[in-house]
Structure 1
Amino acid sequence: MPTPSSEDKDELFLSCRYGDLEDVQEYIQKFGPESLSEIRDDNGNTILHMISGNGHTDLLKHLLPLVSPSLLSTSNNAGSTPLHWAALNSHLSIIKQLVLFPSGPGVDLIDIKNSAGHSPLAEAELAGWQEGAKWLVEVMNLEAVTEENGTEDVGETDTVDPNQDIQVEIEDADGQVAKMTISGSKNE
């Protein structure tokens, strides 16, 4: 297979930014998937940053199996991952794909902080995107958060009523506290 030129890589990058699946497929057919994980812009953004920030669900679904799983946690020059960009731009289907991708880092992506000290959860909160913040809280590793904050996990002898609402408070790196209620199932 031929080696892609700088121009070919730039065109692929733009195709990812604008969600042009056909152009991306043509690139892969011509050059193979090997170079996909190496392409960066001047700010250190990857193709996953472009796709995630612009909400291109179909393109992400097509490319995730073809790129290195480490690309999901790759930070740009500002320390932001593709998940930060998806959270900042309120793309729920994208954050779900990134976090739930079987070969990827999973929920650990939620704990990565950018240069401003913000996690993807903090970016969702700062953007006022409650739906995304709620989903991230529901799937994140709360055991690590509770150990970090010095509070106890529910032990074997403690009981939790599954119909009871649970209040969750999470403090981000800036000291801002997000409060959320996770509703129990109320089958009456």
Structure 2
Amino acid sequence: MPIPSDEDKEEIFLSCRYGDLDEVQAYIQKFEIRDDNGNTVLHMISGNGHTDVLKFLLPLISPSLLSAPNNAGSTPLHWASLNSHLTIAQELVLFPSGPGIDLIDIKNSAGHSPLAEAELAGWQEGAKWLVEKMNLEEAVAEENGTEDVEDSATIDPNQDVQVEIEDAEGQVAKMTISGSTASSKS
């Protein structure tokens, strides 16, 4: 595989930033790179909300790239959350060959998960979606002292689940999850 020049690297990051699918398609056939901050092309696409480019790349790249951190420990999902790109967050989390909901729990160097980044950005729609996708049954089982969710008869799928989420500043938000809806309480 040829090694990209600095000019090649600059061009692909600009193509991802501006959503130039043709340029990305041509480039991805030749190179896989990171910028000086450890960002991958998925970071650029996710941070700038280019769903068409993301959908093209996902089947072509290694699924491990979805959870690849940059130098600050942030994944592409962190960038999608920070920049309020719901469709991108959904594509990353729901990609069949990827890490799935485990992406939501990855913390960056500042100790923030993508959910925390969404909250810090004031992106309520994204924070709600991420909470709804989290594996809450596992959290309830741990709270009840049961390790194996399948063996736990105490979990009723129709029961409301109270979740407390602590943001980076130590503020605790309480949410009640009922079916596919969530309500926030201070």
What TM-score, normalized to structure 1? 0.82
Contact 1:16 1:59 in 2 (8 A): yes
Q: CA RMSD in A?
A: 2.6
Q: Please name the residue that 1:5 is paired with.
A: 5
**How many pairs align?**
177
Q: Please name the residue that 2:154 is paired with.
A: 158
Q: 1:142 to 1:165 in 2, by over 3 A?
A: closer
Structure 1 CA distance, aligned partners of 2:152 and 2:140? Answer: 16
Q: 1:161 to 1:40 in 2, by over 3 A?
A: closer
Q: Please name the residue that 2:111 is paired with.
A: 117
Structure 2 CA distance, aligned partners of 1:159 and 1:142? Answer: 10
Deviation digits for residues 142-162 of structure 1, max 9, x if unmatched? 245446xx5116874436372
Contact 1:119 1:172 in 2 (8 A): no
**Does residue 1:169 correspond to 2:164, yes or no?**
yes
Q: 1:74 to 1:184 in 2, by over 3 A?
A: closer
**Does residue 1:85 correspond to 2:79, yes or no?**
yes
Contact 1:52 1:85 in 2 (8 A): yes
Q: Please name the residue that 1:52 is paired with.
A: 46
The runs of 5 or more residues in structure 1 that have no matched partner are none
Structure 2 CA distance, aligned partners of 1:98 and 1:161? Answer: 26
What TM-score, normalized to structure 2? 0.83
Q: State the one-letter code of the partner of 2:52.
A: D
Deviation digits for residues 47-97 of structure 1, max 9, x if unmatched? 000000000011000001111111111111111111000001111100111
Moved over 6 A (4+): none
The runs of 5 or more residues in structure 2 that have no matched partner are 181-186
Higher mean Cα deviation, 43-52 or 2-11? 2-11
SS of residue in 2 equivalent to 1:179: strand
